[in-house]
Amino acid sequence: MKRVSLGDDADNKTTDEQQDVQLSRRKFLSSAGAAVVSVSLLGGGILASADAWAKGALDKHASSTLLLMARDLFPNDDLEDIHYAKIILPMGEKATEDSSLKKQLNDGASELDKRSMKHFGKKYIEVKKEKDRVVVLEEIESTEFFGTLRNAVMMGIYNNEELWPRFGYGGSSWEKGGYLHRGFDEIDWLKG
């Protein structure tokens, strides 16, 4: 599956999966409480950045930095940016009421830039290669900031009911009667 652009043209696409993405996006936008949101693409199509985030405690640059970091932590090329954005956005909102989180996230984003500048002479989101950005992330692996992001992204991607079908995980099954009559013994590639 290709990554779906979050630009305005996304609304013209019609596959089921893309409709799901649009629905998710609407849900996302409405939960953000933003009337007008412009979605732009940065960093060679990698990043979605929403002005709505300015309402949170992170500026646009810090948001973009954390969004890219989120993807670098658990990169799934098949997953649209929105799924990573849905992890970072609530953190930015929470940080408006939590000054220590606000400081941790903003300082963390600055630290990424500082270290990227040192290694590569450019800011984190301008470093093109994932393996180069990983060098920077490895340096801050033991920080509280890193732990906050890692845990949030791990839970946001893998403990996300909406994404479970994408990973082939079934989630709750009792209300469907379990798998006794739904393929518990099916396997098509095993040759005995």
The nearest distance, CB 176 to other proteins, in angstroms, is 9
Whole-number Å distance between alpha carbons of 162 and 17: 12
Point out which residues bind other proteins (CB under 8 A).
72-76, 78, 130, 134, 137, 150, 153-155, 157-159, 164, 167-174, 177-180, 182-190, 192
Helix (H, G, I), strand (E, B) or coil at 41: strand
Pick 34 or 164: Cβ nearer other proteins: 164
The nearest distance, CB 167 to other proteins, in angstroms, is 5
- How many other C-beta atoms can be found within 10 angstroms of the C-beta atom of residue 34? 17
Pick 21 or 79: Cβ nearer other proteins: 79
Pick 44 or 171: Cβ nearer other proteins: 171
Pick 56 or 156: Cβ nearer other proteins: 156
The nearest distance, CB 36 to other proteins, in angstroms, is 34
Q: Which residues of 141-150 are buried (b: 16+ CB within 10 A; e: fewer)?
A: eeeebbeebb
Which amino acid type is present at position 131?
A: K
The nearest distance, CB 35 to other proteins, in angstroms, is 34
Helix (H, G, I), strand (E, B) or coil at 31: helix
Pick 121 or 183: Cβ nearer other proteins: 183
The nearest distance, CB 86 to other proteins, in angstroms, is 16
